[in-house]
Amino acid sequence: MKLSDLKVIITGGAQGMGAHFATRLLEAGASVAVGDVAEEAMASLPSGIHTRRLDVSDEADVASFVAWAHEAMGGLNALVNNAGIIRDGLLVKKDRNTGEVKKLSTEAWDAVIGVNLTGATMMVREVAAKMLEGDPTPGVIINISSISRHGNRGQSNYVSAKAALAANTVTWARELARYKIRVGAIAPGMIETPMTKGMNQKARDALVAAIPVGRIGDPEDIYAAVKFIVECEYFNARCVDVDGGLVMT
């Protein structure tokens, strides 16, 4: 597919990687619709991008947004499933001084699963259903997973969601192939975003030191993978790791 032929939804597109994808795809001639809960941040996106508030954890909101985006762009043939949150915490932790045992809260679990997995799944379902209306035309869905899907201390909820998203990339690719819809995934490593800028500096420095290429990633590095998946029509049902060689331990 040509980038200029895209009529694409980008979730979580108000800032960070999502905003970068939206800007670069618009520059390439694509029609772009961005959804995010951060309405004020979306106001800073370039003119020409369609924007509307979207809470991917709300099933009705997802369906309404997809219908709106389809109408606003005069069609729909692509999705970048980028929305995500973190609520990190160890599954259980014992205080060394008091002996008190603290547990990962159900609220933290539900919040991350609701956005990163259930919300992402509902987006794929609604976008694919909209693509199937009338005569199917080639389409592409890109899920943003993470290298944390292999397992990462303190991220039981995030790991579960991102691992499932990568696995379901294969599931959905197999189910949707008959309709000319490809499904791929990208697993970023440590990327410079508002989320990573807020990290503890010591932890950040330690992670950067473990990256073989010697630097933190940039949203443009991930956009290069987005571009590849869109343009390479033989790519399907796979997850591309873009992590500088970092291995989570």
Report the run of H or E that residue 10 belongs to, with start and end: strand 7-11
- Scored b (16 or more CB within 10 A) or e, 174-210 reads eebeeeebbbbbbbbbbbbbeeeeeeeeeeeeebbee
Could you give the residue numbers annotated as active site?
Answer: 158
Radius of gyration, alpha carbons of the chain: 18
Tell me the C-alpha distance between 105 and 107, whole Å: 5
Residue count of the chain, please give it: 249
Type of residue numbered 28: A
